[in-house]
Amino acid sequence: MSSSGRESWNTRVGFIFAAIGSAVGLGNMWRFPYMVAENGGAAFVLLYVCLLFLIGLPVMVSEFVLGRGSGASPIPALSQPEQPSWRWLGVLFVASGFLILSYYSVVAGWTIQYLLDSLTGHLFTVTPEAYFSEITFGHSSFMFHLLFMVLTIGVVLGGVERGIEICVEILVPVLVVMMLFLVAWTFLLPGASEGYAYYLQPELQNLVQVYGIWGMEVPFLDLAMLGAAAGQTFFTLSLGMGAMITYSSYLNRERDLFQEGAIISLSDLTIALLAGLMVFPFLTAFGLLAHAEDHEISTLFESVHAAFSQIGGLGSQFFGTVFFATLMVAALTSAISLLEVVTSSLMDRYDLPRLQAAAGSGFLIFLLGIPAAYRSDWLAVADGIAANLMLLFGGLMLAVYVGWIMHDPERELSKGQQWNVSGLWLFCLRYLVVPVLFLLFVQNLYNVLWNVGG
Ligand code: TRP
């Protein structure tokens, strides 16, 4: 406990692991491969890696500066005496948390179904396509969405120290070992090399789009792809909705915030790249790539399902069980951070006890997620609005606030600093992050409105 009576992390590793646990989840394993398949492969991967470091990392450091600087959850962190008018941004963050967790929990519920059916062996008696379409939308999806929300609420109720920290410290290393194993295995499959080419050899012409402006043809970077890559960056790093503000608010002042941010981003990137390295060779080895390109949200599930079925017998059951168990846990450690933002905001704002704040908001989130458990189009729309619009807008406003409005943001960053990058960081935030995010937000808004309207 800190002197103010606020809970704090037991150890440095506690914070890093919890932040990595938040970042690493369905965003890396499920969303990243399907975004790559939807956007035509390696060119998207390249853009995503660039954006992760040029935009994602500076925004993450801004969240840390705000969180550790204020020692508070998003709404109070943004209602400092000198700038009370920014409270609405904290409210937007909480709203984003509600929306994201509502459908995240549905997809996480699928992982529980895959887990149970791997355990019994039922999974390997049906084809991947048939199984996926049977369980993903309908009553069973609803039930497992409910179960997953109950689990999430349970961990958040344990509080910061006991619940989140212990859970994450054991489970993140298990995930890494499991994935390394799968990546090594896919490497040996015949047909894998085309998957590597699709995933890793960018065709540079795919990055460029010709725009007609005043009758002229102007080639420029493909903004739609860039906008999707930015949404993915925010989603996977848990940025743009105050999760990192909340976690860093429990942090003390001996740490170098930039270094922590770099470690978290690199770990998250590693897991996403590993996920691609296992999924794409599986897809080409089993002839599923074309199918994945049309039914993107099934990409991860169907490819690993097909792969595990190949092993046969108890081997399938064993590998399937371990894999889906790790996936579920990765989803759980991320879901915890989403619910924690909402919970700690309500606790700070309304002086609610943790039990009421977590259980009440968790229940509302469960209700909000029900349509996504029944309809794939709802899930896709909610995901598009949340990641490509709400998170991007949240990140943009955060960069504007920390970069241009907050008084002397470099001071908080300089505490505990080992790498002297505050000048570079602030410069990047002001002149790169703000304009690029503005452009991409407008682009994504146009895309969403156009898709809805047309
Ligand atoms: N980053 C998580 C994932 O990749 C999801 C997540 C957790 C998240 N907390 C978040 C996304 C906050 C956006 C904002 O699965």
- At residue 85, the pLDDT reads 78
- At residue 6, the pLDDT reads 62
Does ligand 1 lie within 6 Å of residue 243's CB atom?
yes
Write the pLDDT tens digit of every residue in 237-251.
Answer: 999 999 999 889 878
- At residue 428, the pLDDT reads 95
Task: Name the token pair of 414.
Answer: 């300089």
- Rounded to whole angstroms, how far apart are CA atoms 277 and 60? 26
- Rounded to whole angstroms, how far apart are CA atoms 101 and 80? 27
Burial 345-376 (b: 16+ CB within 10 A, else e): bbbbbeebebeebbbebbeebbebbbbbbbee
- Rounded to whole angstroms, how far apart are CA atoms 248 and 61? 10
Which has the closest alpha carbon to 332: 23, 18, 25, 16? 25
For residue 268, give the ligand 1 atom closest to its CA: 4
- Rounded to whole angstroms, how far apart are CA atoms 366 and 162? 24
Residue 134 contacts residue 332 (beta carbons within 8 Å): no
Write the pLDDT tens digit of every residue in 288-328.
Answer: 888 888 878 888 999 889 988 988 889 899 989 988 988 99
Residue the block writes with tokens 């606030």: 401
> Ligand 1 centre and the CA of 45: distance in Å?
19
> Ligand 1 centre and the CA of 454: distance in Å?
30
Whole-prediction pTM value?
Answer: 0.93
- At residue 92, the pLDDT reads 93
Q: Best of 241, 271, 338 to mutate for ligand 1, by most ligand atoms within 8 A of CB?
A: 338
| The one-letter amino acid at 58 | P
Residue the block writes with tokens 């894998």: 192
| The one-letter amino acid at 143 | M
> Ligand 1 centre and the CA of 265: distance in Å?
13
- At residue 107, the pLDDT reads 97
Q: Best of 100, 233, 234, 392 to mutate for ligand 1, by most ligand atoms within 8 A of CB?
A: 100
Does ligand 1 lie within 6 Å of residue 232's CB atom?
no
Residues 6+ apart with CB under 8 A from 18: 9, 164, 165, 168, 247, 333, 337
Does ligand 1 lie within 6 Å of residue 230's CB atom?
no
Which regions of the chain are under pLDDT 70?
A: 1-13, 82-84, 159-168, 452-454
Say how many C-beta atoms besides its own lie within 10 A of residue 323's C-beta. 25
Residue 65 contacts residue 413 (beta carbons within 8 Å): yes
- At residue 321, the pLDDT reads 92
Nearest alpha carbon, ligand 1 atom 7: 334
| Strands annotated E in 110-241 | 208-213, 216-221
For residue 244, give the ligand 1 atom closest to its CA: 12
Does ligand 1 lie within 6 Å of residue 231's CB atom?
no
- At residue 165, the pLDDT reads 67
Does ligand 1 lie within 6 Å of residue 245's CB atom?
no
Nearest alpha carbon, ligand 1 atom 8: 238
- Rounded to whole angstroms, how far apart are CA atoms 394 and 392? 5
For residue 27, give the ligand 1 atom closest to its CA: 4
Does ligand 1 lie within 6 Å of residue 28's CB atom?
yes
